[in-house]
Chains A and B, each alone.
Chain A
Amino acid sequence: MERFTQLYAALDETTSTNRKVKAMVNYFDEAPPEDACWSVYFLSGRRPKRLLSSRAMRRWAAAAAELEQIGSDQTAPMPEWMFEACYGEVGDLAETISLVVPTEERGAPRPLHYWVEERLLPMRAMEEDEQQAEMTRIWKQFTQAERFVWTKLTTSALRVGVGKKLLIRALSEFSGIDKSVLSHRLMGPWKPSAEFYEQLLSEDETDAAASQPYPFCLARPLEDDVETLGSPDDWLIEWKADGIRAQLIRRQGEVFIWSRGEEQIGHQYPEVREAVQAYVPDGTVVDGELLAFKNDEVLPFGQMQRRIGRKNVSKQMQREVPVVFVTYDLLEMGGHDVREEPLHERCAMLDRLAEDHFTNEKLRLSPLLDGSWEELQELREESRERKMEGFMLKRRDAPYVGGRKTGIWWKWKVDPYTLDAVMLYAQPGSGRRASLFTDYTFGLWQGDELKPFAKGYFGLTDDEFEEITRWVRRNTVDRFGPVRQVEPELVFEIAFEGVRRNNRKDIGMSVRFPRMARWRRDLSPSDADSVDDLARLLPDLPE
């Protein structure tokens, strides 16, 4: 428990992702596999099911606390009102328990897996009074720091500013194994064990080879006049859908669906996975978009969001928000990488493939559009009605290139600009909204730091404001008058009309009419955009 407690303290002590990664690497360096597997388990946000209720824990902790009695050497249990007063002061249940329950006799030091496997998990099968006795015994052998971490483990997920991504980065730095391989191995159900941990870090990567995605080709926003692109004949033009970008892989009899954020999301879209399994031939990789689609109509993104991040998708949810895959590019066919072929060739191959195999309604092709720029511009005005974001313009003769290469893929959106940013500060609104935190400041990445770039007040529902208000109260790290600095965790898509240079701002730029387009619960802070992404939107200055 000692080593894991030290890791927790090191992670808790710093907000720098580099230092967190370093702390995890040091830990994995020393921890035996039987322990490390549990650390991976907890740090990736998992927790054993059916643990203990926090209400019961409060009662047990008050009873286990020993309060000095005036006028005698005796101690007595803490009255519940006193425990609640302490909880009010401390603000965190596990920490309150760690502070009021005393350390009595330090038992022999035992590793993390002992505490989890032999003490925590068996407790689930006990009667309540047995549980209480066992928990009290354990609490009293730990130091305060250990008691805190232990209680966190038993009541809630570990939340220490480490997401799955950061964990994977640390494991990759420690083992030298590619991040996508680790990500694959951490997918789906697994049981923490020494064997699992050894497989996780096994250098033989063939198990993961079949699942390997290609790096996504990313579009840049088109800021110049569309005429500057030359003739429309040089471009393939399609609607830009507002869905989840994904790569679909069918290899060695299996199906993998990857999101842009290097996460496998196949289990979240079983209907699409089944269709691919049944209809798409082995050795195929396609690029496209997952879209909520019902009665031949695209559903608003808000509906799609109901499907994001769910571990289990009920039949009912699949009926309410059916998801399809709209394909627009072909990366691998018959087991051959075709990314070097020009786009129009790839599309011709994709057409043939679709004709033969995409005979299921879950698999669709993104239609191509044509016309003069003028006609296209007119059609583009219909984007909002069609629940599209605008057009994608892709160079006909370009290969498929991973990353954000300029000049091959443009997004020509109706909404001028959006960036994903992280909430840094929150402030109460005025009038009717005075009891809610509705005014937020958002930040973009610059190196390792988030720099404030815009404030937003509008664009969320009252329910969302309420949910965020509760979150802000729990996640305040500092206060400046009415302004709360919060943990940088929530990501929002910020829409704005333009950007200009402004030397009075820390980042040297300011944006026009920023507002919250939506809360991106599907993104983590590391997915947010950077100050450089904003700078690219600056209009070119005249020579």
Chain B
Amino acid sequence: MPNPLLQTDDRGIYCAAGDFHIDPWKPVPRAVVTHAHSDHARPGSQAYLASRTSEPFLRKRLGKSISLQTADFGETVTLNGVRVSLHPAGHIRGSAQVRVEHNGEVWVVTGDYKVRPDPTCTPFELVPCDVLITECTFGLPVYRWPEPEDVAKEINDWWRQNASEGRTSIMFAYALGKAQRVLALLDDSIGPIYTHGAVQQMTQSYREAGVKLPATTYATGKDTSHDYTGGMVIAPTSAGRSNWIRRFSSPSTGFASGWMMLRGTRRRRAGDRGFVLSDHVDWPALMDVIDGTGAERVLLTHGDTAIVTRWLREQGIDARDLETPFARQEEDVAEEA
């Protein structure tokens, strides 16, 4: 049996025929990167290939001077005779699935993805393949996302209620992706919207890329006298433990994440309110995608792979775990990268 087209080595998912890695966790000569979250885009590689829309975020994360080749979605790049193309993953702006074709065999690496509509990024595209390497962060049938419109209504109702009580709403969300998705859901007729520095930078890049988002004011570190009452503040969770947060009088805190589906995590992590808003696939969407690609073999990463593997095998699909260091630890549960 010949070597599989993609397999893990000590640095990441490796394509021997094309001599490149996908989302390597250690520096490599050539890295194909699905998206700019730090568990996928690691510094130190000699050359990067990524989607054109992800460029500003990658340069922010990895440095302006990285050697970066970009490709449009659907455009084929040939690396040592292996055909590589990027396809929208719908996870955050610029996020891509990687399609790899060689000797008539097609593999797809999903990276992180979701199929629900999100106005801040290009919608997920189903890519037929022979072998699918998919994430399963939320690979249990208890995870079934509510409609984004319903979550938007919950968030805006919460904000409105707080504003009427003279309180400031603080929403904790991942600075790249989730924060902008939340912004796009907000009804800015309720009050002013403020951002933490980390969120502000990324939001600016979204706007420059032409994504329409409501106006925001940067809640700077210096000006501590401003009255934020009735406003909505978007901040990364790390800000919740900093001094920065003290400037907001009688705050009500919320947290937007798929983990908020469970009462236990809600009580442990959410502050006052938890909102179920995820940039990953839920259980039904995961099954639909696996089914839709027509893949004969499925390799699972990022999540409770043993459970999904067992379920797929009972369904007659050749499924196995792909060992990666994307461990799922309780500490990481708070944020969805």
Which A residues lie at the B interface, using CB under 8 A? Answer: 12-14, 65, 67-71, 78-79, 81-82, 85-86, 89-92, 95-96, 99-100, 148, 476-479
Inter-chain CA distance A100–B315, complex, in Å, is 19
Q: Which residues of B contact A12 (CB under 8 A)?
A: 263
| 6 additional contacts (CB under 8 A) given A68-B288, A70-B291, A89-B140 | A14-B272, A70-B312, A86-B142, A90-B142, A100-B141, A100-B142
- A-B contact list, 12 entries, CB within 8 Å: A12-B263, A13-B272, A70-B312, A70-B316, A71-B315, A78-B141, A89-B304, A90-B262, A95-B262, A100-B141, A148-B263, A478-B268
Q: B288's closest neighbor in chain A, by CB? A: A68
Main secondary structure on B side of the interface with A: helix
Q: Which residues of A contact B262 (CB under 8 A)?
A: 89-91, 95
**A85, B330: Cβ atoms closer than 8 Å:** no
Q: Which residues of A contact B268 (CB under 8 A)?
A: 476-479
**A91, B141: Cβ atoms closer than 8 Å:** no
Q: Which residues of A contact B17 (CB under 8 A)?
A: none
**A70, B263: Cβ atoms closer than 8 Å:** no
Tell yes or no: B311 within 8 A of A by CB. Answer: yes
Inter-chain CA distance A67–B287, complex, in Å, is 10
**Option from B264, B288, B310 in Cβ contact (under 8 Å) with A81:** B310
Q: How far is the CB of A150 from chain B (nearest CB, A)?
A: 15
A90, A476, A477, A479 interface centre (most CB from chain B within 10 Å): A90
Q: Which residues of A contact B311 (CB under 8 A)?
A: 82
**Option from B261, B273, B287 in Cβ contact (under 8 Å) with A70:** B287
Contact with A along B256-273 (1 / 0, CB 8 A): 000001111001100011
Q: How far is the CB of A48 from chain B (nearest CB, A)?
A: 24
Tell yes or no: B284 within 8 A of A by CB. Answer: yes
Tell yes or no: B314 within 8 A of A by CB. Answer: yes
B264, B272, B290 interface centre (most CB from chain A within 10 Å): B264
Across the A-B interface, give the 4 residue pairs with the lowest CB-CB distance, nearest first: A99-B142, A70-B315, A68-B287, A86-B142
**B312, A85: Cβ atoms closer than 8 Å:** no
**A477, B315: Cβ atoms closer than 8 Å:** no
Q: Which residues of B contact A91 (CB under 8 A)?
A: 262, 264
Inter-chain CA distance A263–B142, complex, in Å, is 42
Q: How far is the CB of A269 from chain B (nearest CB, A)?
A: 39
Q: A72's closest neighbor in chain B, by CB? A: B291
Inter-chain CA distance A67–B286, complex, in Å, is 12
**A68, B314: Cβ atoms closer than 8 Å:** no
**B140, A86: Cβ atoms closer than 8 Å:** yes
Q: Which residues of A contact B316 (CB under 8 A)?
A: 70-71
**Option from A14, A85, A478 in Cβ contact (under 8 Å) with B140:** A85
Inter-chain CA distance A14–B273, complex, in Å, is 10
Tell yes or no: B245 within 8 A of A by CB. Answer: no
**B267, A68: Cβ atoms closer than 8 Å:** no
Q: How far is the CB of A15 from chain B (nearest CB, A)?
A: 9
Q: Which residues of A contact B141 (CB under 8 A)?
A: 65, 67, 78, 82, 86, 99-100
Within 8 A of A (CB), among B270-300: 272-273, 283-284, 287-288, 290-291
Within 8 A of A (CB), among B195-233: none
**B287, A477: Cβ atoms closer than 8 Å:** no
Q: Which residues of B contact A92 (CB under 8 A)?
A: 263-264
- Total interface residues on B, CB under 8 Å, equals 28
Q: Which residues of A contact B322 (CB under 8 A)?
A: none
**A96, B142: Cβ atoms closer than 8 Å:** yes
Q: Which residues of B contact A86 (CB under 8 A)?
A: 140-142
Tell yes or no: B327 within 8 A of A by CB. Answer: no
Tell yes or no: B317 within 8 A of A by CB. Answer: yes
Inter-chain CA distance A100–B140, complex, in Å, is 10
Tell yes or no: B307 within 8 A of A by CB. Answer: yes
Within 8 A of A (CB), among B29-56: none
Q: Which residues of A contact B142 (CB under 8 A)?
A: 86, 89-90, 96, 99-100
Q: How far is the CB of B139 from chain A (nearest CB, A)?
A: 10
Q: How far is the CB of B204 from chain A (nearest CB, A)?
A: 34
Inter-chain CA distance A86–B264, complex, in Å, is 13
Inter-chain CA distance A99–B291, complex, in Å, is 23
Q: How far is the CB of A415 from chain B (nearest CB, A)?
A: 37
Q: Which residues of B contact A96 (CB under 8 A)?
A: 142
Q: A81's closest neighbor in chain B, by CB? A: B310
Q: Which residues of A contact B307 (CB under 8 A)?
A: 82, 85
**Option from A79, A89, A476 in Cβ contact (under 8 Å) with B314:** A79
Within 8 A of A (CB), among B306-328: 307, 310-312, 314-317
Inter-chain CA distance A100–B143, complex, in Å, is 9
Inter-chain CA distance A71–B273, complex, in Å, is 38
Inter-chain CA distance A91–B263, complex, in Å, is 9
**Option from B310, B312, B330 in Cβ contact (under 8 Å) with A479:** B330
Q: How far is the CB of B11 from chain A (nearest CB, A)?
A: 30
**A69, B264: Cβ atoms closer than 8 Å:** no
Q: Which residues of B contact A79 (CB under 8 A)?
A: 314
Inter-chain CA distance A71–B315, complex, in Å, is 9
Contact with A along B114-147 (1 / 0, CB 8 A): 0000000000000000000000000011101000
Q: B263's closest neighbor in chain A, by CB? A: A95
Q: How far is the CB of B125 from chain A (nearest CB, A)?
A: 20
Inter-chain CA distance A509–B144, complex, in Å, is 49
Q: Which residues of B contact A13 (CB under 8 A)?
A: 272-273
**A68, B272: Cβ atoms closer than 8 Å:** no
Q: Which residues of A contact B288 (CB under 8 A)?
A: 68
Q: Which residues of B contact A68 (CB under 8 A)?
A: 283-284, 287-288
Q: How far is the CB of A451 from chain B (nearest CB, A)?
A: 19
Q: Which residues of B contact A99 (CB under 8 A)?
A: 141-142, 144, 261
Inter-chain CA distance A67–B310, complex, in Å, is 14
Q: Which residues of A contact B287 (CB under 8 A)?
A: 68, 70
Q: A15's closest neighbor in chain B, by CB? A: B267
**A70, B290: Cβ atoms closer than 8 Å:** yes
A70, A96, A148, A477 interface centre (most CB from chain B within 10 Å): A70
Q: How far is the CB of B39 from chain A (nearest CB, A)?
A: 21
Q: B261's closest neighbor in chain A, by CB? A: A99
Inter-chain CA distance A13–B253, complex, in Å, is 12
Q: How far is the CB of A136 from chain B (nearest CB, A)?
A: 17
Inter-chain CA distance A100–B310, complex, in Å, is 18
Q: Which residues of B contact A95 (CB under 8 A)?
A: 262-263
Inter-chain CA distance A530–B228, complex, in Å, is 35
Q: How far is the CB of A346 from chain B (nearest CB, A)?
A: 51
Within 8 A of A (CB), among B168-192: none
Q: How far is the CB of B251 from chain A (nearest CB, A)?
A: 15
Q: A481's closest neighbor in chain B, by CB? A: B331
Q: Which residues of B contact A14 (CB under 8 A)?
A: 272
Q: How far is the CB of B143 from chain A (nearest CB, A)?
A: 8
Inter-chain CA distance A86–B139, complex, in Å, is 10
